[in-house]
Amino acid sequence: MQQALPSRAPASRGGARARTAAGVVMLVASIAYPVIVWLSVGHVSPRWMALLPVALALARAWATPEPLWFVAAAGAALLAAAGAVGGHWAPVQLYPALVNVVLFALFASSLWRGPTVVERVARLHDPALPPAGVAYTRRVTQVWCVFFVVNGSIAAGTALWASHDAWALYNGVISYGAMGLLMAIEWLVRRRVRARFPRAALPAAEVSHA
C-alpha cells in the first residue's frame, strides 16, 4: 500500500496540469470562436464546423467541475446535430448564446443555493469575508445574471436573423467589449462602496475573475 502512494501524486499533478492546459486552450478557442466561424463561412461546411462547439463544450466540462457544463456539452451536441442535418450555419452560431444560458444558470443557481459565484471567487482571496462583502458579491452576481440574459438574447438574435458579419462583429467584438465595460464599472463602484466601509468590509478580489 505504501509503495503505491508515491505513484498517485505525480498522476494527480499530471491530471491537474492537463486540465489547466485544456482550460487555457479552451478559453483561447472560445474567445476566437466567432472569428473562426466567420473565416470558415464559404470555405468549410457547417456540418464540419458543428463539431467545434461540441469539442469546446466537452473540453470545458472536463476542465471545470461544474456539472452544468456537461449540460452545455449536450446542448452543443444537439446544435451540432441540427447543423449536420440541415447544413445551416445558425446552429453553429448559436453556441455563444448557449454559453450565456449556461453562465446564467450557473450564477442564478448560486443565488438560490449559495454561496454565490462571485462570493466563492472573493473568498479565494479573503476567506473571512464579512457580511457587507457577502451582500456586495450577491448584488454583483445578480448584475451578471442580467448581463447574461441580455447578452445571450442578442447573441441568439444575431445567429438567427443577422448576417454572418453582424454575428461575428457582435459576438467577437461588441460582446467582449460590453463584458469589459461591465467589469470596469463594477471596479469603480466597488471602490466607492469600499470607501463607506472598513477596509476589510469588501472583498479584495477582482470580481472580473469570475
pLDDT of 42-70, one tens digit each?
Answer: 888 888 888 888 888 888 878 776 788 88
Contact at 8 Å (CB) between 136 and 123?
no
* CA–CA separation, 10 and 16 (whole Å): 10
Of residues 63, 57, 54, the one with CA closest to residue 24: 63
pLDDT of 82 > 70? The answer is: yes
| Cell, residue 73 | 456539452
Q: Which of the four pLDDT bands, split at 50, 70 and 90, describes residue 162?
A: very high
Q: Crossing angle of helices 51-63/95-113, nearest 10°?
A: 30
Name the pTM for this structure: 0.80
Which cell numbers in the block locate residue 39?
A: 473565416
Residue 155 binned pLDDT confidence (cut-offs 50, 70, 90): very high
Structural domain boundaries, residue 192: 5-209
Total structural domains within the chain = 1
